Amino acid sequence: MIFMRDPRYPLLRRGRAPRRRRVFTRSHARLLAIALLVLAVAGTATLLTLRRDPPDARGLLRDARITLQSGNYSAARSNAQAAIAAAPSNGPAHVVLARALLELGDGLAAEAELTRARDAGIAIATLYPFQAQARLLQNDPVGAIEAADRAAPRQAAYARRIRAAALVLLGNGAAARADLGRLVAEQPRDGRNWTALGRVALAIGDVGTAADAATRAVALLPDEPAALTLQGEIVRRRYGLVAALPWFERALARDAYYHPALIEYAATLGDAGRYRAMLAATRRAQRARPGSPQALYLQGVLAARAGRTELARGLLQKTGGAIDSLPGAILLSGALDYAEGRFEQAGAMWRGLARQQPLNVSVRRLLGAALLRSGDPRGAREVLRPIVTRADADSYALVLFARAAAATATTDREREGVAQDLNRANRGATGMATAFAIDDQVGTLDAAILQAPGDPGALLAAIRGRIQARAPGDALARARSLARASPGAPAAQSTPGDTFAVAGRYADAAPFYARAADLSFDEPTMLRLVDALSRVSRQRQASTALALYLSQNPQSLTGQRILGHWHVMAGNWTAAIETLEAVRRRIGNRDAGLLTDLARAHAGAAPRDGADTAALRYARAAHALAPMNAAATDAYGIALAGVGKLDGARQVLTKAVALAPGDRAIASHLAQLR
């Protein structure tokens, strides 16, 4: 029997090491205590870090006052609201919030905060100026004056500024300007006084005084949004849209959500054709003031321009009637009605606007069209009559008037008058831009001066009445007197120019138009100036004036139309085609003068492929619209010759010569074919 040794496994070979007893010593206890203490301190620090300290109402109120003083009114509003949340009965915080809201143009909310401030113990005697401004913002000028008159002596300047603004709303702008003139003389270092004077002067049409005041205000308060916004509005009126944008941007750099600047900025961007930026500005205005009626209106304008009438009407309805009385809203609402075929409603809207602005040619033209389409030709004639009496009456107004006259004509004489109106429409405007026609007789206008001897408006109407009646008398002397008395009023500076223009003295008229343009470079003033300079062969100056206007108002159809015509006259065919085609894309193919110029431009560029065909297409369309227009007929004849239809060209050019027997250029075109 064989015995084997017991196997020895490796784990059993070494045996197990004996366990050592662990002894918890004092050093171990100290280490554990230190670790626990460290953990406790770290945990407490973490909790203290995560936990927010209770808001300090005093600190928040201090921040609100600082931001209010620095012109960041939106931040002041937020800080004041936070201070009130921390201490609801903090009266000074309610006052600061009310003042911030007033600067942001929210009179209703400001008045509510003033009530809370009074309930919190603030003396009502210190709140009267702010209450006056709140009432003014809510279109209560009488209540504003009542509150301003109760202001304490140390708040007198503030109260006088509000009182002056209220007087403007009550129709007493001259008194308001005079009182603020005294105030800036007493306190010339207060920029808010200058801002108030500029605002009042601009409201009453004294652009010169407004410009001087705004310049002083910005010099004293270079970062104050209200002063910068006012300067932007004045620059826009004097120099144009593009020049005004940096001023609004400066105001928004101080307070990115300053609602008045956002609205003016958005409107200016839209007029300049920068629609994306306009939309962005309106959206920011809505964030600054949710439900802003002005922002909704501007978005409605954008929608209408894009042809989205339902969206535009919906945006207008969201305003809740807050801006229904504003001219722009009335014009837009009527345009939406007209586009949807509701001509009576459009006429009702525009009739009210025409009462507010009786000298607005565009409004009268729109109203005439609406009345004619709604079956009221007699009403259309009465509305359009002041336009068609002008030498520069446009073809569209003349055609509307002729159609209205045809619908009411009952005698041969009246029918002959219709034919004359249509012939005049075919010829197009033949005179320069002039002052709007005055309905009253010269004697009535002179009587108005006797009743209000110090009213420049009455004197201006009397002068224009004499110019219109071709009975100048002492009109020139009166016009010069008015211009001297009102050096900052654009209309007063234009009036001597109109008087000289009626007498054919365009060289004398041009300097007055230039002064008016320096105060308000709007389209009518530009047209007067350019026309007067062109008539005295100062074409370079006329071109400079037009170029300056277009650089600031690039969307101006009238300006682009004139520029395109000048390119045609100068033989700059490519530039003419580019300019005029841009206009045609915007207004369509219903302007005979535009199509005539396009035909001539394409005919001049005939070596290009398809130019002759394009010239004939445009010329045929222009002639169809205005068959008795000599220029359109001449262009048609030239286009026919360009495609080799010489017999037809001779017949058409013979007709053109008959329509304008004294035109040497048309006669030379016919002579070239013989």
The residues spanned by each domain of the chain are 57-239, 325-427, 432-555, 571-674
Mean pLDDT of 223-231: 97
Least confident of 6-10, 304-308, 421-425: 6-10
- Matching fold, domains 432-555 and 571-674: yes
Q: Please tell me the distance from the alpha carbon of residue 600 to that of residue 611, in angstroms, as a whole number.
A: 10
- The model's confidence at residue 424, banded by pLDDT at 50, 70 and 90, is confident
Q: Please tell me the distance from the alpha carbon of residue 19 to that of residue 28, in angstroms, as a whole number.
A: 20
* Residue 426 CB burial class (10 angstroms; 0-12, 13-18, ≥19): buried
CATH number of 432-555: 1.25.40.10
What is the percentage of the chain residues whose pLDDT exceeds 90? Answer: 64
Mean pLDDT of 403-421: 82
- What average pLDDT does the chain have? 86
Task: Assign a CATH topology to domain 325-427.
Answer: 1.25.40
Residue 281 half-sphere exposure toward CB, CA atoms < 13 A: 26
- The model's confidence at residue 450, banded by pLDDT at 50, 70 and 90, is very low
Alpha helices for 319-376 (secondary structure H): 327-339, 343-356, 361-373
pLDDT at 356: 85
* Number of Cβ within a 10 Å radius of residue 447: 13
CATH number of 57-239: 1.25.40.10
Q: Which residues of 330-352 are buried (b: 16+ CB within 10 A; e: fewer)?
A: bbbbbbbbbeeebbebbbebbbe
Class of domain 571-674: mainly alpha
Give yes or no for residue 94 having a pLDDT over 80: yes
